[in-house]
Each structure stands twice: as structure tokens, then as C-alpha cells.
């Protein structure tokens, strides 16, 4: 009995020691895990954060550069019928939309106001002609008298004074006849003017076409051309030949050439693309907001629309894509891949600044550098990916379309060029920066769309 008690105590002591040992091991394990976690966090914090980008291999493309402009559909040939004399419209045989032929009477203006003047001018001519006839009779009488006095003078039966009087009467009558003839010519010219005015009370169509605009109705009074440009009564247009008149900016008009092909979208015909070609480019600019910061300078470009079985009407809105240049099988990259960096320009100016003439004042030097920066074209760059690193490449570009831009020199075909994201290309990326390529990001978005 006495031996069993010590054994029991020994066992209890061993059990207590084992429990303490296990607790110690547990705490050590927990401490090790915490240390490992802290180390992992620190290591991960120090690990370089990768910029996620999308790429595309440089390939060859067919590129067509276009200039887009908006404008209106107009008839290529149209005439505006204006009143040449003032009066009341008494007849308008055609309405808007009617087809007229050359020579058709399209407007009649009441001529009553011109008839009294016409009769008065005719009566004045008749009076003058009567006066002329009277003077012709007097001239014959004075001619006979002059001949008789000359005979008597030769025989010494009449004085020289009698001869002089007879000659004066003859010459005065002849002068009066010439005056009357001049008056008749003057009155006939005045009569012709009145007759011309009367003839303009009837207006004939100068061309065949369609009445596209009618501004007046029967009974309304119009003003003639003596009052500025006169009242515009109607417009006749040839709807068989239509054109687009679009406004092209001054930076793009130099690219447009006569004969360039154009694709035309007309709002009235959604889903339909018309074709045409440039046949006229304005030489004079059309400026808006002149003298302000919002001043815009455009040039009118006229595009002849190829005839199709569609009824085009003047005034329809249109958008035109003019194909100004086309190149096939050229090296091209996505247009968003090409960017410029201001820091490159500033770095170049800093280098030049180190070499500046120290005798030049600082303010003049800074002004000079600023002018040089404005004149100097920024260099274009792209970023390619090599071994998970972005490499900056300076490139020279050519023409472009909506998606791709031609690369004339700087990178070869087949390299992997970064095309996204916009923020990465234009701000985040630097030379020799580690990047993560994720080309599934955009494809997933397209699938969802």
C-alpha cells in the first residue's frame, strides 16, 4: 500500500509535465505561424506591383485615311426667282413640288401701275413726231425763200440783209428739226424702259426643274430689284443632280483632293450608304465666331452624289467620309498604342538649357526655350513587351483610320505592342517596367456585349 502512493504521485507529475510541454510546443507553433505571416506580408509588400496591359502583335494592314464632315444635301443647279419690279402677284400657276419646264410662265405681277406711264410715253412720241412734221414743212418753205432771195441778190434786186435773214431762218428750222429728232429718241428710250418693266410682270422659268421653295401667294405684293435684291418668290432646283455641301476644317481641307471618293450617310435613309466624289473645293474660308477664342475656320467642299433610285430633297442632313489617302499592306499598330510624353520634351529642353549661352538673361532664355518647345513636334512612342518588360520605342507614323495607324519606321512586324489600357499607355508605363499581359480582359467584355 505504501509503494502504490509514490507511483501514483510520479504518474501525476509526469502527466503535468507532458501537458506543460504540449502547451509550450503549441505556443511555439503559433508564434512561428505568426512570424511566417508577418514575413509573408512584408515580402509581398516589397514585391513590385505589376501593371496590367493588353497587347497585340504588329501586323500589316490596309489603311484608308478619311476626313469626316457634316453638311446638307443641295441641288447641284438651282435658281432663285426674284421680282424685278414691284407689284401685286396675280398668278402663281405652280406650287411647291411641281415640275416646270424652261419657258413656262411661273409668276405674273399686276401691270396696271405701268400702263398709264406707257401711254404717256407713247403720246409724247406722237407729239414730238407731229412737231417734226411741222418743222419739215417750215424747212421746205424757208428753203424756197432762200433760193429766191439768192436769185434776186444776184440780179441786184435784193439786199445782202435779206439774204442773211433767209439763211438764218433756214438754219434755225434745221436745228429745231434735229432737236425734235433727239427728243423722239429720248422718249423712245423711256418708252422702252417702261415696256421692259411691263414685260417683267410675267416671269418665265429659266430652267427645267422642280419648285423646291415657294415664298409668296397670289395677292401678295413684292418689291423689285431696285429695292436691294428684290423679293425672292420661289426656287427652282434640278433634283436629278444632287450634291453634298459640307464644311471641312482648315487642318483637313489640305488633305482633300478633287476626285476623292466619298461615302455618304443621310439621316433620312438610315442604314443606306450613298457614294459620290469631290468635284469642288472652296478657296475662300467660312469663319465662325470671328475675333473670339471660339473662332472656327472651315471650307465648303462640294461632293456630287451618284444617282440612285432614292428621292433626295434639298436640306437633308448628311455625314460624309472622304477617302483622302489609301495604302495597302503597311505595318500598322492600334491607333491608341501611339502616344507622346511631355517629360521627353522637357528633358530635351533641359539638356539644351545646360548648353545655353550664360550671357543671356534667364527670362530671355526661358522665353526662347518656350518658343522652341512650341515649334518642336513631340516625338511619338509606343511600348512593346519583351520578357514581361515594357520597352519604349520611338516611331514615325503615317496615315491612319479609325482603328490603326501606319508605322513608317521604329518597330518591325511581329513584335508585341501594348494597346491598353489608355491610362497605362499615356501615364503609367515607363521604359523597362515589369508588366502583366492580360489579353482576356477585353475579349470577355466583347463576349458580354
Tens digits of residue pLDDT in 17-61: 666 666 777 777 777 787 877 766 665 554 556 778 888 888 898
pTM for the full model?
Answer: 0.63
Question: What is the widest separation between alpha-carbon atoms in the chain?
Answer: 215
Lowest model confidence (mean pLDDT) among 46-60, 261-275, 346-360: 346-360
**Under a CB-based contact definition with an 8 Å cutoff, are residues 426 and 339 in contact?**
yes
- What's the CATH number of domain 82-110+201-240, 2.40.50.100, 3.40.50.300, 3.65.10.10, 3.40.190.10? 2.40.50.100
**Under a CB-based contact definition with an 8 Å cutoff, are residues 107 and 235 in contact?**
no
CATH of domain 113-197: 1.10.287
When comparing pLDDT for 447 and 320, which is higher?
320
Lowest model confidence (mean pLDDT) among 19-28, 176-185, 261-270, 412-421: 19-28
Q: What is the pLDDT of residues 190-219, one digit of tens each?
A: 888 888 888 889 999 999 999 999 999 998
pLDDT of 362: 54
Average pLDDT, the chain: 82
Lowest model confidence (mean pLDDT) among 12-26, 313-327, 405-419: 12-26
Classify strands 51-57 and 433-437 as parallel, antiparallel or unpaired: parallel
pLDDT of 119: 86
pLDDT of 25: 74
Cell 444776184 belongs to residue: 154
**CATH 2.40.30.170: which residues of the chain?**
244-327
**CATH 2.40.50.100: which residues of the chain?**
82-110+201-240
C-alpha cell at 267: 439621316
**CATH 1.10.287: which residues of the chain?**
113-197
Nearest CA to 235 among 84, 93, 74, 79? 79
CA distances from 299 to 71, 247, 317, 338, 401 (A): 11, 5, 17, 30, 22
The CATH homologous superfamily for domain 244-327 is Efflux pump adaptor protein, beta barrel domain (2.40.30.170)
Amino acid at each position: 500500500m505504501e509503494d502504490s502512493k509514490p507511483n501514483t504521485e510520479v504518474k501525476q507529475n509526469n502527466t503535468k509535465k507532458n501537458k506543460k510541454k504540449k502547451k509550450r510546443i503549441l505556443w511555439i507553433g503559433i508564434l512561428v505561424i505568426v512570424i511566417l505571416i508577418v514575413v509573408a506580408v512584408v515580402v509581398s509588400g516589397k514585391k513590385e506591383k505589376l501593371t496590367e496591359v493588353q497587347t497585340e502583335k504588329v501586323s500589316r494592314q490596309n489603311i484608308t485615311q478619311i476626313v469626316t464632315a457634316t453638311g446638307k444635301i443641295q441641288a447641284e443647279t438651282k435658281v432663285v426667282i426674284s421680282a424685278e419690279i414691284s407689284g401685286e402677284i396675280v398668278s402663281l400657276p405652280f406650287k411647291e413640288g411641281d415640275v416646270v419646264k424652261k419657258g413656262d410662265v411661273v409668276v405674273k405681277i399686276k401691270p396696271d401701275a405701268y400702263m398709264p406711264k406707257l401711254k404717256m410715253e407713247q403720246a409724247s412720241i406722237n407729239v414730238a413726231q407731229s412737231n417734226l412734221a411741222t418743222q419739215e414743212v417750215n424747212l421746205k418753205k424757208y428753203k424756197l425763200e432762200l433760193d429766191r432771195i439768192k436769185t434776186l441778190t444776184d440780179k441786184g434786186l435784193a439786199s445782202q440783209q435779206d439774204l442773211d435773214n433767209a439763211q438764218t431762218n433756214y438754219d434755225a428750222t434745221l436745228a429745231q428739226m434735229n432737236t425734235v429728232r433727239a427728243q423722239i429718241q429720248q422718249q423712245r428710250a423711256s418708252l422702252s424702259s417702261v415696256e421692259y418693266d411691263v414685260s417683267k410682270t410675267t416671269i418665265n422659268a429659266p430652267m427645267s426643274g422642280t419648285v423646291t421653295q415657294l415664298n409668296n401667294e397670289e395677292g401678295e405684293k413684292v418689291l423689285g430689284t431696285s429695292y436691294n435684291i428684290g423679293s425672292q418668290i420661289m426656287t427652282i432646283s434640278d433634283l436629278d443632280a444632287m450634291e453634298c455641301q459640307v464644311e471641312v476644317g482648315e487642318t483637313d481641307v489640305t488633305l482633300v483632293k478633287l476626285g476623292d471618293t466619298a461615302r455618304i450617310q443621310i439621316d433620312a435613309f438610315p442604314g443606306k450608304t450613298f457614294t459620290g466624289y469631290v468635284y469642288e473645293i472652296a478657296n475662300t474660308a467660312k469663319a465662325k465666331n470671328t475675333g473670339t477664342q471660339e473662332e472656327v475656320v472651315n471650307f465648303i467642299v462640294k461632293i456630287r452624289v451618284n444617282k440612285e433610285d432614292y428621292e433626295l430633297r434639298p436640306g437633308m442632313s448628311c455625314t460624309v467620309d472622304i477617302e483622302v489617302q489609301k495604302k495597302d499592306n503597311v505595318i500598322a499598330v492600334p491607333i491608341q498604342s501611339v502616344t507622346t510624353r511631355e517629360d521627353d520634351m522637357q528633358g530635351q529642353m533641359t539638356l539644351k538649357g545646360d548648353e545655353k549661352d550664360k550671357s543671356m538673361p534667364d527670362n530671355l532664355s526661358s522665353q526662347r526655350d518656350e518658343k522652341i518647345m512650341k515649334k518642336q513636334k513631340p516625338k511619338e512612342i509606343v511600348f512593346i513587351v519583351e520578357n514581361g518588360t515594357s520597352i519604349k520605342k520611338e516611331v514615325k507614323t503615317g496615315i491612319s483610320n479609325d482603328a490603326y495607324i501606319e508605322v513608317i519606321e521604329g518597330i518591325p512586324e511581329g513584335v508585341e505592342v501594348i494597346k491598353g489600357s489608355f491610362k497605362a499607355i499615356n501615364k503609367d508605363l515607363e521604359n523597362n517596367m515589369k508588366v502583366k499581359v492580360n489579353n482576356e480582359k477585353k475579349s470577355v467584355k466583347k463576349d458580354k456585349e
